[in-house]
Amino acid sequence: MTIKQLGGIFGRNPTFNDVTIDGGIYIGGEASGNYFDDYEEGTWTPTVTGTTSGSATVSSAVNADYTKIGNMVILRCYIVVNFSSHDIVGDVQIGGLPFSSTTNNGQISSSTYCTFFSFDESDISVTARVTSSTAKLLKGSSNTAIASSDLSTISNGTIMFGLIYEA
């Protein structure tokens, strides 16, 4: 069915309330690229692990939520991590992303706040590179990964971030 702005079965000024559509909807034409059939909101459970092995305890996760629109995933999270007894080996990554990435080394994201590194974080930004269902943490805008040796041993390290990637 096609709904036209003027005329059609709804008259001049159609009003819609609580519309349910089975399947999808074409926006801006009937080409396959204009077909919208996927919107989802939810929560996710972040983990902090090493690329080789090991993990750190996530003691608190606040606002760990996401929105998926089509193939784009937008997520955010504020986590408190206990690094005093971590056994992370390799590079540090955030796991448990709600959807797997369709591309290796997908979208890069900026962190807004972090306090768990042994290097000076006052003038760095932490970024993440998504592979599969993990986001590897990188130093600033470089491709240098944050390694387990960069972690301090504080018991309540924090990171607050947003991430956009393709699923």
pLDDT grade for 123, boundaries at 50, 70 and 90: very low
- pLDDT value at 67 more than 50: yes
List 129's β-bridge partners, or say none: 108, 136
Cβ–Cβ < 8 Å for 44, 98 = yes
Query: What does the pLDDT look like over 31-64, one tens digit per residue?
Result: 888 888 889 999 999 999 999 999 988 988 889 9
Residue 31 forms part of a structural domain? no
Residue 18 forms part of a structural domain? no
Give CA–CA dist 8/4, Å, rounded. Answer: 6
- pLDDT value at 71 more than 70: yes
* pLDDT in the model for residue 44: 95
Residue 107 forms part of a structural domain? yes
Average pLDDT over residues 65-85: 88
Give CA–CA dist 162/44, Å, rounded. Answer: 13
* pLDDT in the model for residue 86: 86
Residue 7 forms part of a structural domain? no
Domain of residue 129: give its range: 40-166
Total number of domains constituting the chain = 1
pLDDT grade for 159, boundaries at 50, 70 and 90: confident
Residue 1 forms part of a structural domain? no
- Tell which wins on pLDDT, 140 or 47: 47
Beta-strand pair 126-131/134-139: antiparallel
Residue 25 forms part of a structural domain? no
Residue 33 forms part of a structural domain? no
Residue 148 forms part of a structural domain? yes
